[in-house]
Structure 1
Amino acid sequence: MPRRTASIERIPVPGPASGPYAITAGPDDALWFTLVHAGEIARLAPDGRIRRHRLDSASCGPSVIACGPDGALWFTRAQDHRIGRITVTGQASSFAVPTPDSGPFGITPAGDGALWFTQMRTDRIGRIDTDGRVTEFALPVSGAFPSAIATGPDGALWFTLNQADAVGRVGLGGDVTIHPLPTAQAGPVGITRGVDDALWLVEIGAGQIARIDMDGRIREHPLPDRSCRPHAITADPARGVCWFTEWGAGRIGSITPGGHIEEYDLPDRSCEPHGLTVGPDNALYVALEIGEIARIEP
């Protein structure tokens, strides 16, 4: 498949050992992203300036970040098993997850005014309210490695089970349903609510993008390069597509609700693209673990 072209601006992140990993649009018209190797949260202002905010532990492993219902940014700390919160002025705090060694990873706001998150190492889904109170829900599987999580059109939380090759659903009351994927060793990671009434997810092990509707019906779309290791996915309602990163190939791609796929090469094949989001300026922003943010206008 021929690659499409795009205008790409590379924004270096100043400072050592940064490792941009996940990125989201904040309530202040800025982009906020995690620096997983540095134990910091960074803010990319509309004028391109980056400010880094040091957390209380350089080894806490800030991973996925989301905008909370209280106007602050909430993020998972996978290495010290805490949930972090940072205001737009840079005031940071954190809350312990009750289950030891939980490995929180994905996080998303929900319709109940709380944030829900996955626990990779303990097969649980957590809920944290804006006061820091945590409730946990055990999954009916073991060793499943719950990864990314998103709120679905039905108001429930949908999440990927990386090692179980499945997608889970948990209602706001804690009821859990598991939907196996058709492909063995699919290794699902990123998941997002699409521009249609469904959830879309990436299969890092199988090189596919999958769609699951509210009835649990699944359709998979193979990528042209099955070894590209798709990692994260986000919806772009204005363009009517979902965008995804190809971590193993240094590319991004888009997919329409009908399954049409287009791909774009990033400047460096080894740039390790992870999280991505649509910014307030309608450009696409991608966190590159080599130490940059890519701003893309397709």
Structure 2
Amino acid sequence: MPDTPVTLTRTPVGDDGCGPYAVTAGPDGALWCTLVHAGQIARLTPDGRLDRFPLDSASCGPSVITPGPDGALWFSRLKDGRIGRITVDGRAASFAVPRPESGPFGIVAGPDGALWFTQLHGDRIGRITVDGRVTEFPLPVSGAFPSGITVGPDDALWFTLNQADAVGRMSPDGDVTLHPLPTPRAAPVGITLGTDGALWFVEIGAGQIGRMDTDGRTDEFPLPDRGSRPHAIVADPVRGGCWFTEWGAGRVGHITPAGEISEYDLEDPGCEPHGLAVGPDGAVHVALETGAILRLEAPRS
């Protein structure tokens, strides 16, 4: 563990098993969080006000959330096969995907003004316009469990294939290239565009952080605890490098573009950190599935 101290501030979201899962910075300066077990979206302002907005189904499983090109927040609904949209004043709507059982999960605003999403059980990448029109692009592998998704420096969509141990690239017109990872059973999940212009991802199965250039060249950086189950990753525009969660160990880590790793213990080894985001205040905000949003203020270089 690093010698430099960090400040942790915990905001309870609820003791009802609501399950904070993913968090993102909204266009309104607030943090927005999915409550996967409650079928709700939470909004946390910088001054600490927390609001919870129920969706039309308590069992819809809101999962990953991202700012959209229309000033609203868009999120995947894993359990009922829909893509959700919520305005900054809390008005929610949703749109069906062609196969309800496909399991929408990762979602990101694309370079074309639409939202792109993965389908865990559908072996497809989906595209949805802001008026709700859905197009699907099949992948050339089956049972691959497409998970995280981000926009690369080449304006293509880059995504992890958890069960295929690969990272995929899809052009906006649907052409796919797959890049197998060096480590068997790596099981990549989260992925982000790093501050160095490369794609950074976590390997939940191997306990490693990966870095991939747009030509597919890959470097892997083992974590000190290979069983820590890294889950989500996000770039830090303030400090550089990337932050990631270690779901199995109750930690958050930071990796520099050179691969140097620092780790920070959270409030409880069993707090289950999942998604995270760098907020407008430059702090790191982590969704703890046990019922809170944690603010981590780390030193800046």
Same-fold call, TM > 0.5? yes
Residue number in structure 1 paired with 2:150: 150
Residue number in structure 2 paired with 1:284: 284
Within 2, Cα distance between the matches of 1:158 and 1:200?
A: 10
Q: Once the two structures are superposed, what CA deviation does each residue of 1:78-127 show, in whole Å capped at 9, x if it has no partner?
A: 00000000000111000000124110000000110001000000100000
Within 2, Cα distance between the matches of 1:8 and 1:2?
A: 15
Determine if contact 1:123/1:138 at 8 Å carries over to the other structure: yes
2:222 counterpart of 1:217: no
Within 2, Cα distance between the matches of 1:240 and 1:92?
A: 34
Residue number in structure 2 paired with 1:116: 116
Residue number in structure 2 paired with 1:6: 6
Within 1, Cα distance between the matches of 2:207 and 2:9?
A: 27
For 2:284, give the aligned amino acid: L
Within a 5 Å distance, the mapping from 1:218-237 to structure 2 comes to 218-237=218-237
Residue number in structure 2 paired with 1:242: 242
What are structure 2's unaligned runs of at least 5 residues?
Answer: none
Q: Once the two structures are superposed, what CA deviation does each residue of 1:52-96 show, in whole Å capped at 9, x if it has no partner?
A: 000000000000000000000000000000000000011100000
Within 2, Cα distance between the matches of 1:8 and 1:62?
A: 26
CA-CA distance at 1:17 after TM superposition? 2.2
- Deviant stretches of 4+, over 6 Å: none
CA-CA distance at 1:237 after TM superposition? 1.6
CA-CA distance at 1:212 after TM superposition? 0.5
Q: Once the two structures are superposed, what CA deviation does each residue of 1:219-252 show, in whole Å capped at 9, x if it has no partner?
A: 0000011000000000002101100000000000
Within 2, Cα distance between the matches of 1:162 and 1:49?
A: 36
Within 2, Cα distance between the matches of 1:4 and 1:39?
A: 38
Within 2, Cα distance between the matches of 1:32 and 1:271?
A: 19
Within 2, Cα distance between the matches of 1:24 and 1:234?
A: 10
Determine if contact 1:5/1:265 at 8 Å carries over to the other structure: no
CA-CA distance at 1:4 after TM superposition? 5.0
For 2:114, give the aligned amino acid: A
Within 1, Cα distance between the matches of 2:64 and 2:3?
A: 29
Residue number in structure 2 paired with 1:159: 159
Cα 1:185–1:90 change in 2 (3 A) is: same
Determine if contact 1:191/1:200 at 8 Å carries over to the other structure: yes
For 1:31, give the aligned amino acid: L
CA-CA distance at 1:267 after TM superposition? 1.2
CA-CA distance at 1:49 after TM superposition? 1.0
SS of residue paired to 1:140: coil
Residue number in structure 1 paired with 2:196: 196
Within a 5 Å distance, the mapping from 1:1-298 to structure 2 comes to 4-14=4-14, 16-298=16-298
Aligned CA RMSD, in angstroms, stands at 0.9
Determine if contact 2:80/2:100 at 8 Å carries over to the other structure: no
Determine if contact 2:23/2:286 at 8 Å carries over to the other structure: yes
CA-CA distance at 1:192 after TM superposition? 0.3
CA-CA distance at 1:46 after TM superposition? 1.3
Determine if contact 1:3/1:264 at 8 Å carries over to the other structure: no
CA-CA distance at 1:16 after TM superposition? 1.8
Within 2, Cα distance between the matches of 1:3 and 1:105?
A: 37
Within 1, Cα distance between the matches of 2:3 and 2:260?
A: 13
For 1:294, give the aligned amino acid: L
Within 1, Cα distance between the matches of 2:3 and 2:242?
A: 17
Within 2, Cα distance between the matches of 1:249 and 1:10?
A: 18
Q: Once the two structures are superposed, what CA deviation does each residue of 1:158-204 show, in whole Å capped at 9, x if it has no partner?
A: 00000000000000010000000000000000000000111000000
Cα 1:177–1:3 change in 2 (3 A) is: farther
- Identity of matched residues, %: 71
Determine if contact 2:23/2:34 at 8 Å carries over to the other structure: yes
CA-CA distance at 1:2 after TM superposition? 5.1
Q: Give the TM-score normalised by the residue count of structure 1.
A: 0.99
SS of residue paired to 1:101: helix
What are structure 1's unaligned runs of at least 5 residues?
Answer: none
Determine if contact 1:190/1:232 at 8 Å carries over to the other structure: yes
For 2:288, give the aligned amino acid: L
